[in-house]
Structure formats: structure tokens, C-alpha cells
């Protein structure tokens, strides 16, 4: 497996099929693996937080969800890293040929009128309710896990960095893969609409998102460009 070390991030060069195989492997084991999907916003937030740096450096797999991260990893290693969005990864895990062998639990604050809020086959969704307190969320999830059947795969769709803090809390009690996939569930349920494939291919999906939600994303993207890009460049040129 090829890695690109970008500060605290150890970016993995893996295809979707390789990730699903890895998830399958760990879903039947007695240890835990945490998979995250960093983008430029994550780079910006982690760069200014020693606590977050220490947290994400302890996760085993980081996949580039965002073309700047994929491009930086490619430049650092001189090997091509392709962007792998959380939405694409979630879809691959739920709908590939081995999906019927897995018991998947998705943790999200999705509303009850959304189409995926129901138990279907081996797919379960649990809404722990909203809270800014990570310990409160983690305790609710831990209680749910203790009361319910064993799950093979745990997917956290709570947003960064809340889901990463929760993942760290759950590592001691959950055995199997824990995936931190942010807002990926919103795209599968239709709550958010992904950009056309051409924009995704050109690395311009962020323009589509900004156009549809300028009030929320305008300031975020400005900070990413002002602070996140310089931080990412520093990580690339360090020890090149």
C-alpha cells in the first residue's frame, strides 16, 4: 500500500474495490480500523488544532476526499492519487456485490422523513439526536450498541470533526471498521444533490456546492483558500 505523509495525515492510495475489500476483512475481525476522508477544510481545521492533529494521526486510513489533497499526495509521492469522495465510498460499501453479507450501522442526525430511515435487510440507521457535546453523543451510541445486535461496519455521518472525536471514543468498545464519512448520507437520500459527473471529473464539484449554498460555504471556502492551501503546501514541501 502506498502512502503520502502530509503532516498528521497518512494518505492512502487505494481504489474503491480495495477499500471495500479492506472493510470486509475488518468486519470479521476482533480489532478496529478507523477510516477518514480528509478534504481541504479538514486540513485547515487540523492545522490550527494540536488536539485534532494528535487525533487524526492515530487513525489507520485516510482517503483523499478533495482534489487538493489528492493532488498534494500525488506530488509528494510522484504517484497518481485519485479523489475518493465519502459519498462514492458509502455507495460502494452499501451496494457492491458483498453488501448482503454485512450488517451496517449508520450513525446520523438525518430526519425521520428521509427515505433511508428504516431497517432494511442488514442496513440500520441510528439517530443519536443533536448535541455539541461529543461525550453525550458517544454515550448515546455506546448505549445503543450495547442494547442491539452486533454490527459488522459502523459508519459515522456526523460531520468533521465531531465524527472523528466520536470515532475515537468508540474504538475501545467497537470491533470492526469505523468510517467517518461526513455528509455522504445526504447525497444518497437526496437531501443534497451532487454535481454533474463532468464537474466531478474536472475537480469543480466545490463550485456546484458553493452555487447552491453560498451562505454556508462562502466563508468556509474563503478560509480554506487563505489558510488551508498554504498549510497543505507546507506539508507537501516538508521533507520532499
Within the chain, where are the H helices?
16-27, 40-47, 50-57, 67-77, 86-95, 134-147, 162-170, 184-189, 197-201, 205-212, 214-223, 229-237
**What is the spatial distance between Cα 199 and Cα 100, in angstroms, rounded to a whole number?**
32
Per-domain residue ranges for the chain?
Answer: 2-237
Residue 220 has pLDDT above 70, yes or no: yes
- Going by pLDDT thresholds of 50, 70 and 90, the confidence category of residue 119 is very low
Nearest 10 degrees: Cα torsion 147, 150, 154, 159: 0
| Mean pLDDT of the region 7-35 | 88
Measure Cα distances from 50 to 85, 225, 236 in Å.
25, 21, 19
pLDDT averaged over every residue in the chain: 87
Residue 97 has pLDDT above 60, yes or no: no
User: What's this model's pTM, rounded to 2 decimal places?
Assistant: 0.90
Q: Give the torsion sign (CA, 156, 162, 165, 166).
A: negative
Q: What is the DSSP code string of 26-86?
A: HHTSSSEEEEE---HHHHHHHHT-HHHHHHHHT-SEE---SHHHHHHHHHHHTS------H
Residue 96 has a pLDDT of 66
Beta-bridged to residue 6, according to DSSP, are 9
Residue 79 has a pLDDT of 94
Among residues 9, 37, 64, which one has the least CA distance to residue 182? 37
Amino acid at each position: 500500500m502506498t502512502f503520502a505523509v502530509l503532516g498528521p495525515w497518512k494518505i492512502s492510495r487505494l481504489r474503491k474495490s480495495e477499500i471495500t475489500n479492506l472493510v470486509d476483512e475488518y468486519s470479521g475481525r476482533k480489532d478496529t480500523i478507523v477510516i477518514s476522508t480528509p478534504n481541504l477544510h479538514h486540513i485547515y481545521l487540523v492545522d490550527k488544532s494540536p488536539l485534532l492533529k494528535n487525533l487524526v494521526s492515530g487513525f489507520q486510513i485516510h482517503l483523499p476526499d478533495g482534489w487538493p489533497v489528492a493532488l498534494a499526495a500525488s506530488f509528494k509521492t510522484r504517484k497518481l492519487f485519485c479523489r475518493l469522495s465519502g459519498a462514492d465510498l458509502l455507495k460502494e460499501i452499501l451496494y457492491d456485490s458483498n453488501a448482503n453479507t454485512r450488517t451496517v450501522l449508520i450513525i446520523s442526525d438525518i430526519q425521520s422523513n428521509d427515505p433511508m430511515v428504516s431497517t432494511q435487510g442488514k442496513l440500520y440507521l441510528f439517530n443519536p439526536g443533536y448535541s455539541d457535546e461529543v461525550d453525550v453523543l458517544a454515550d448515546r451510541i455506546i448505549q445503543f450498541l450495547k442494547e442491539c445486535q452486533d454490527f459488522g461496519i459502523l459508519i459515522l455521518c456526523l460531520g468533521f470533526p465531531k465524527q472523528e472525536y466520536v470515532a475515537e471514543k468508540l474504538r475501545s468498545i467497537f470491533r470492526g471498521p469505523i468510517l467517518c464519512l461526513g455528509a455522504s448520507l445526504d447525497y444518497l437520500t437526496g437531501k443534497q444533490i451532487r454535481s454533474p459527473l463532468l464537474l466531478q471529473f474536472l475537480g469543480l464539484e466545490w463550485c456546484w456546492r458553493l452555487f447552491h449554498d453560498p451562505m454556508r460555504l462562502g466563508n468556509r471556502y474563503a478560509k480554506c483558500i487563505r489558510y488551508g492551501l498554504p498549510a497543505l503546501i507546507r506539508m507537501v514541501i516538508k521533507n520532499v
